[in-house]
Chains A and B, each alone.
Chain A
Amino acid sequence: MKDILKLDKIKGYWAETVADSPWVAVIRALVRREARAMSAPIVQPASVAGRALTVVIAIMCFLACLTSGAVYMVNQSANDWFADIASEVTVQVIPVDAAEFEKKVTLVSLFLAKQAGIVKVSPLSSEESGELLKPWLGDSNALSALPVPRLIAVEIDRSSLPDMSVVRRALESNFKGVTLDDHRRWQSELRTVTRSMVLGGFAVLVLVGAATVASIVSATKSAMASNREIIEVLHFVGARERFIAHEFEKHFLSIGVRAGLVGALGATLMFLLLPVVMRFLSSGGLAAAEFRQLVGTAVLDWPGYILFGAVVVVVASLCMLTSRYGVYRILKSHD
């Protein structure tokens, strides 16, 4: 019985804390317009400092969302590249004996298909191999006269990777002029490049985050300075510190959420339009296609958009905490 009473006490404490939270007050106000009290809000709803703060928050939130979305996208693209490259190896068949060449390609393909851990074997036709050389040699009939090696794309099972050194040795001992490339060098270089890109992105994100924190804290402090008289009057008429802090937290949290949402919506719009821009950019030419290959389709998936929500929460909380700190700092000079 005693334990139940204690539990009720804990529940009561949490219920009171949650109900008392500025977040609950702001969410209530956003979700359903509560019946307004006859009196105006204690904290001045619209002031020059408040409007400046709103603009600063919206802009910084927009930039923070853009940066975090871009970093997330680069990170996702890097992961996708690795997944693609790690699940494919290439076998090159050099035309040592022209007469037996097609037969050799078929035999090598059949040999590879029998190996454990190999899911799919796709030999490229001579036309497809020629297509790969076109960017360098141009559209010429001379290609047919050249001893163009044939490539075989081999897809491997990522859940049970085959021992590539064993496959390589088996290929080389059974077939003359056949080599296997597991892209290890390319993977290593790509890993270095993408890691640098992601790290660079994080560095920019940290800088934007620091700039966001500094500008929001500074703008909130300015807005708080213009509210000093309200805090003092409330203090002198007998308001408790918690009451005054709560009023200001509600006010600044509301500003933070509204302005943050505007910034996040702006960034969302940008990311929704990005694939259209990318399609426009990649509408012609090999360079554009390579660019698209490099940065992907520029579609931000839903966890990326959730990141924007997190940015809004962080920004609004920052606003709220700075206002609370400002209230206590002013009250400290009077108590």
Chain B
Amino acid sequence: MIRFENVGLRYGLGPEVLRDVDFHLVRGSFHFLTGPSGAGKTSLLRLLLMSLRPSRGLIHLFGQNCADLPSPERADLRRRIGIVFQDFRLLDHLTTWENVALPLRVFGKSEASYSEDVTDLLKWVGLGDRMTAYPEVLSGGEKQRAAIARAVIGKPELLLADEPTGNVDPNMANRLLRLFIELNRLGTSVIIATHDFQLMDQCDAPRMVLNEGHLEVR
């Protein structure tokens, strides 16, 4: 489903932050992406999300070479990917319900067609009573769950999560991990970028370790 071949990335004329990255992920896999701070985890996630173009090498997503794709088709591929940001990125002027429904709205679906799904998902992630609340009144854990719900509402084939447990307590981190495992069981491929070893130890999943720009899958 995802193939990186000899991928390198540099910002401007700076040094390469990712070097000769090679890996292949199959459909329905579950991986942790780890490494010290500044190792390039977020950059790798941005490459996966086609938010950056590699300086060299090839990236194949869902069987397509990303380099050749025009902008509308890149957007279509992005619809098959769910993303959970480290800083949540919920829109402050939308309620929790509206934030979660945003991807479906963007896909051009009618509100009537997804209204029930959004409500059910919010109940499933434990935000049934916070649907009309605005992000500014949500706790860190609630925001994180809302961000996860937004990432999965479009039934993505690949879920990317950048430090999803960085802002929550260990108990909430466990609950979120169980949520990701459940989503993976339902068929979504998951990549979680984290440096929380306690979290990784709770799940027997392969680890993609980034160190000084090089990637190693263990």
Q: With A40-B98, A335-B51 as known contacts, state yes or no: A238 contacts B103, CB within 8 Å.
A: yes
Specify the chain A residue showing the minimal Cβ separation from B99. Answer: A233
**Docked complex Cα distance between A236 and B102 (Å):** 11
B60 lies within 8 A of chain A by Cβ: no
Partner of B107, one of A37, A38, A238: A238
Q: What does DSSP make chain A's interface, helix, strand, loop or mixed? A: loop
Judge whether A42 and B105 touch: CB under 8 Å: yes
Q: Which of A224-278 contact B (CB under 8 A)?
A: 229-230, 232-243
Contact assessment for B103 and A39 in the assembled complex, using a CB-CB cutoff below 8 Å: no
Q: Which residues of A are found within 8 Å of B107, using beta-carbon distances?
A: 238
Check A238 against B76 for contact (C-beta < 8 Å): yes
CB distance from A25 to the nearest CB of B (A): 15
The verdict on B13 contacting chain A, using a C-beta distance below 8 Å, is no
Asked if A38 and B89 make an inter-chain contact with CB atoms under 8 angstroms apart, the answer reads: no
Q: Is A44 an interface residue (CB 8 A)?
A: yes
B residues 73-111 near A (Cβ < 8 Å) are 74-76, 78-79, 81, 83, 85, 89, 91-95, 98, 101-103, 105-107, 111
Residues of B within 8 A of A40 (CB): 93-95, 98
B111 contact set on A, CB distance < 8 A: 37-39
What 1/0 mask marks residues of chain A from 38 to 57 whose CB sits below 8 Å from any chain B CB? 11101011000000000000
Interface size on B, residues (CB 8 A): 32
Q: Which residue of A lies closest to B49 (CB)?
A: A236
Q: Which residues of B contact A229 (CB under 8 A)?
A: 89, 91
Indicate whether B50 reaches chain A with its CB closer than 8 angstroms: yes
A183–B78 alpha-carbon span in the complex (Å) = 78
| B residues neighboring A (CB under 8 Å) | 49-53, 71-72, 74-76, 78-79, 81, 83, 85, 89, 91-95, 98, 101-103, 105-107, 111, 115, 150, 154
**Can you list 15 contacts pairing A with B, beta carbon distance less than 8 Å?**
A38-B115, A39-B94, A39-B105, A40-B94, A42-B105, A44-B93, A232-B89, A236-B83, A236-B89, A237-B83, A237-B102, A238-B79, A238-B81, A335-B71, A335-B74
Given contacts A243-B106, A335-B50, 18 further A-B contacts (CB under 8 A): A37-B111, A39-B94, A42-B94, A42-B102, A44-B92, A229-B89, A229-B91, A230-B91, A233-B89, A233-B102, A236-B49, A237-B106, A237-B150, A238-B154, A239-B106, A242-B72, A334-B51, A335-B51
